[in-house]
Structure 1
């Protein structure tokens, strides 16, 4: 565009000074003729970079997902092909489900056994409580008999001493007393055994055997739910609309649950079209401002856009969190740029934008609309030059 303006200016100068000779061609007029285009074009470019800033770093960015299986197993099916477009929910690959189904079958068979074990432990607990109650009651009866036997033994002893009773009755009372004492010792021993069995109780008052049985049952149920979930993970679905690239997975390969070893890369359709600008170029840029982009993948094609938002942050504004004091010494680095996200308008919404495509573009602010035409001509001339492939081989 600058060359075109210079040619128009040169034509006007030729008409004035050489064709019609309206003014003399001397030193003064020569200096003026040379200074005018330099100053005018310099001012034009300076104002143009403010009211219609351009960027020679426009990029097409896509979200990508490194596909890592959530379970490890042998791949039995890969129904997609490299670079094939798929919809959200389409199957990307399948892992052999048989080992996971066997785990489910094993747990489903084990759970009824553990439930029966819990019931049995509860029944055993009740039986022990009944036995303790019976032993306690037996001891109470024996204590009453002992109290009577002690009195009987004392009475017969006094009578035998006074000659009012027989010695045989006294010996019989002593034998009964020793017998009851032995019965009490046996009853106490039995009650102690029952108490020892029931003494290992949980904080809820349940037998440790019941607690363990219930814990085993709950653990088996959790393992069953986990196994059922893992079975669902043997089929991996597309997380969004997009396409698979770098597809090297084949049936028979082992898909490993390892983040450092993705089995494929999935490129989503959702895109970012961003233009990178120096920090003093976007002072007047606002949401909704019209923009134009020329990508090298589409020579001589202008993509109509509008400003969606400005990403007001870059890496230079970040301080790494650490226990050290911030390093404030002077460092030499280039000024970081800010990204302006552009939204493609309806006319070009269905245009395929290859992830990684680059080009140039411009944003037209609300200021200086009279000179926006200059920027539009520059953008269109630059995209026509994209037809040229400057290689010698």
Structure 2
């Protein structure tokens, strides 16, 4: 074997060894990548399509009027109960005074109903006595009428025989006419006394409908007047608008001297301590994501040096495109499939937010550990 052949064999041998080493290295890298994916990377999903959000409290008045004072400005931190806006209370104070007067008048009116009830009961007793007296008078008038009629009949029979004079007959006729008139008057008196009794009983029944089964305090008229007074007091309290929670003032639109109406937006209070993150993951990333899994987050505001810890709190009811103003019409013939993103709500640690505050709408990077809490 020549020297050239020996050199070729040595070169081939070295080349084969290098190829074998390269193949072994590639195999080791593949094993390492597979091991990394199996043991670590497959348990994490991440996205940088994530943004901070919060349930903003909109400040609107419940009572309209002229703004007398504005206590806060944009970016100012406020505590729950702090005064934000004061509406001129003059009208509300007058309405409360009027409602108080109406309540007092209603109570006096109901007391008069109670007093009148006793008076009406006495009137019924009197009317019953009148009815009895009229009935007795009717019986007396009826007896007088029968007697006068009998006397007249007898004298008419004796007139032909001359036993009765014309003057005596005339007196008998006059007595009969008077008895008949008295009987008619007695009947009218009985009817009138009966009508008076019915009227008194109806008046007592009507008055009783206003007070039966109630006291002065529980009477509907008094309760309605008291409710109007309570509403007036509430309106007076609502002239002072307070912060419903801790946060930062944003979007202040109200100005001193402005006339505002109920429901008109004045400003917003952002509760920065209750910030959360909406992380928009691709649908293909969510097969192992469950509520309660830990999340590591970074804010572009602070960079990678600052980490936030959170947990998956919930999933949106649909993808962003499903709730867009003009949702995609996937049934059309020119449909193109696009991977959708589903917002995942991530709760942040309040202590970390206190140390490193965030604002609404900031960009975040979120990474979920799916190794636990799987079905």
**Given the two structures, how large is their TM-score scaled by the length of structure 1?**
0.69
Following the alignment from structure 1 to structure 2, what is the Cα–Cα distance between the partners of residues 84 and 253? 21
Aligned partner of 2:94 in structure 1 is: 102
Aligned partner of 1:263 in structure 2 is: 266
Give 1:155 deviation, angstroms: 2.7
Of 77, 91, 94, the residue aligned with 1:85 is 77
Q: Which runs of 5+ in 1 are unaligned?
A: 1-20, 320-326, 368-393
Q: Deviations over 1:219-247 (max 9, x none)?
A: 33322121112111111111111121111
Of 344, 349, 357, the residue aligned with 1:344 is 349
Aligned partner of 1:7 in structure 2 is: none
Give 1:22 deviation, angstroms: 9.8
Q: Deviations over 1:108-129 (max 9, x none)?
A: 2233333333344451644653
Following the alignment from structure 1 to structure 2, what is the Cα–Cα distance between the partners of residues 247 and 157? 107
- Residues 119 and 255 of structure 1, relative CA distance in 2, 3 Å threshold: same
The answer (yes or no) to whether the contact 1:303–1:348 under 8 Å persists in 2 is no
- Residues 87 and 160 of structure 1, relative CA distance in 2, 3 Å threshold: same
Aligned partner of 1:13 in structure 2 is: none
The answer (yes or no) to whether the contact 2:120–2:203 under 8 Å persists in 1 is no
Aligned partner of 1:161 in structure 2 is: 156
Q: Which has the larger radius of gyration?
A: 2
The answer (yes or no) to whether the contact 1:58–1:361 under 8 Å persists in 2 is yes
Give 1:279 deviation, angstroms: 2.9
The answer (yes or no) to whether the contact 1:309–1:342 under 8 Å persists in 2 is yes
Following the alignment from structure 2 to structure 1, what is the Cα–Cα distance between the partners of residues 180 and 321? 96
The answer (yes or no) to whether the contact 2:141–2:182 under 8 Å persists in 1 is no
**Given the two structures, how large is their TM-score scaled by the length of structure 2?**
0.72
Following the alignment from structure 2 to structure 1, what is the Cα–Cα distance between the partners of residues 356 and 100? 53
1:136 matches 2:128? no
Q: Which runs of 5+ in 2 are unaligned?
A: 1-11, 324-328
Following the alignment from structure 1 to structure 2, what is the Cα–Cα distance between the partners of residues 50 and 340? 21
Aligned partner of 1:358 in structure 2 is: 363
1:149 matches 2:149? no
The answer (yes or no) to whether the contact 2:280–2:343 under 8 Å persists in 1 is yes
Aligned residue pairs, count = 334
- Residues 116 and 338 of structure 1, relative CA distance in 2, 3 Å threshold: closer
Aligned partner of 1:206 in structure 2 is: 206
Aligned partner of 2:286 in structure 1 is: 282
1:68 matches 2:60? yes
Superposed counterparts of 1:175-186, under 5 Å: 175-186=178-189
Aligned partner of 1:272 in structure 2 is: 276
Of 250, 265, 290, the residue aligned with 1:245 is 250
Provide the aligned C-alpha RMSD in A. 4.2
Q: Deviations over 1:51-93 (max 9, x none)?
A: 1111112221111122111111111122122211111111111
Following the alignment from structure 2 to structure 1, what is the Cα–Cα distance between the partners of residues 350 and 265? 35
Following the alignment from structure 1 to structure 2, what is the Cα–Cα distance between the partners of residues 274 and 244? 22
